[in-house]
Amino acid sequence: MQVYLDNAATTALDPQVLKAMVETMETHYGNPSSIHAHGRQVKTIVEKARKTIAGLLNAAPAEIFFTSGGTEADNTAIVRGIIDNGITHAITSPLEHHAVLHTLEELQKNGTIQLSLLDVDAQGHIDLLQLEKLLNDHPRSFVSLMHANNEIGTLTDIEYVSALSKQYNALFHSDTVQTMGHYAHDLAKLQIDFVTGAAHKFHGPKGIGFLYVNHNTKIKPFIYGGAQERNMRGGTENVYGIVGLAKALELAYTHMDEHRQYIQGLKEYMTAQLKGQIQDIRFNGDIAPENSLYTVLNVSFPCTDIADMMLFNLDIAGISASGGSACSSGSDIGSHVLSAIGADTKRPCVRFSFCKNNTREEIDFVVGKLRELCLEKA
């Protein structure tokens, strides 16, 4: 049996998304910047997709900018948001994705900002009292906090953080890559400055994402070279990717409640099976349903003798999972997230992430293999 439980890294392309993309590829090849009929037709397709996404998020189409993915969107929001608004202080947590952390660290290194890192507890919750104190101590700050952690799944109350940021005249950016398409985002109600999305996290194509920029927040282009995206991002649009992004998000919203209930059930089932079959099992992050991303389960196993080989052994057994962010694969530094929350990194830690395509039979197979591996080394 081949089992894919690495959906936080990327998801399988939905057949309906592929169909929409192929139909566009076969019939529409004009450049959307061209003024002739072929170009105008494609421009209409791009703007229809933008309108679809904006409608689902309760935003204005003019607030949606297409990017190459979440990393570019995060970089754009952070660099342009800070520099173009004259901000010299930023606040984040040590648990953020490297697309956020490395960008802010680089801005600190070159003297653009002073960077403050929030304290986090053993479950990955940020210190909200410390956040308010930092906001109060600085005239204007840039806050960047992800909605759900990509490795341990702990959720942050971004509605509260957004309100707090507004109270202290701070700009607030949230990396919502892991929750986009899985939770409903009402951006008009949220009143956030920047959010990001990547299609391949919700069964869309890779290489396409978007950045939401609140109409009250002004930034300059991050990529120059053309008048595309209303002069905000140079470069010919990834038309087929944009079509796939819009279709994937539309499908995600249409079936959101159904998929959430089903996937949450898989996560709870695997949690119970692991507890019942493997002694001294531990879970990293907050796994309470109301505080946790329902697609992610981070597990710490007692078999320390095979810590370096756990993922390899799972792969040999036909099981795809990860030790953390796919963007950090190949790094020998280890997970900065697990280190920050004080997890025992000598134990093998595995992130299992689920989607609508997974089954209980797959969970039973995976738990059985994990039990075998741990018993072999007991």
- Residues with active-site annotation: 327
3-class DSSP state for residue 87? coil
DSSP letters spanning 335-365: -HHHHHTT--TTS-EEEEE--TT--HHHHHH
Tracing tokens 């942050």 back to the chain, one arrives at 156
Measured CA to CA, the distance from residue 248 to residue 181 in angstroms comes to 8
Tracing tokens 């078999």 back to the chain, one arrives at 303
Measured CA to CA, the distance from residue 90 to residue 217 in angstroms comes to 16
CB atoms closer than 10 angstroms to residue 288: 10
Yes or no: say if 350 and 301 are a contact pair by the CB < 8 Å rule: yes
Measured CA to CA, the distance from residue 353 to residue 323 in angstroms comes to 11
Yes or no: say if 317 and 372 are a contact pair by the CB < 8 Å rule: no
Measured CA to CA, the distance from residue 103 to residue 332 in angstroms comes to 21
Q: Cα angle at 155 between 349 and 51, to 5 degrees?
A: 120
3-class DSSP state for residue 321? coil
Count H helices and E strands in the chain, helices first: 13, 12
Q: Which of 248, 346, 375, 315 is nearest to 5 (CA)?
A: 315
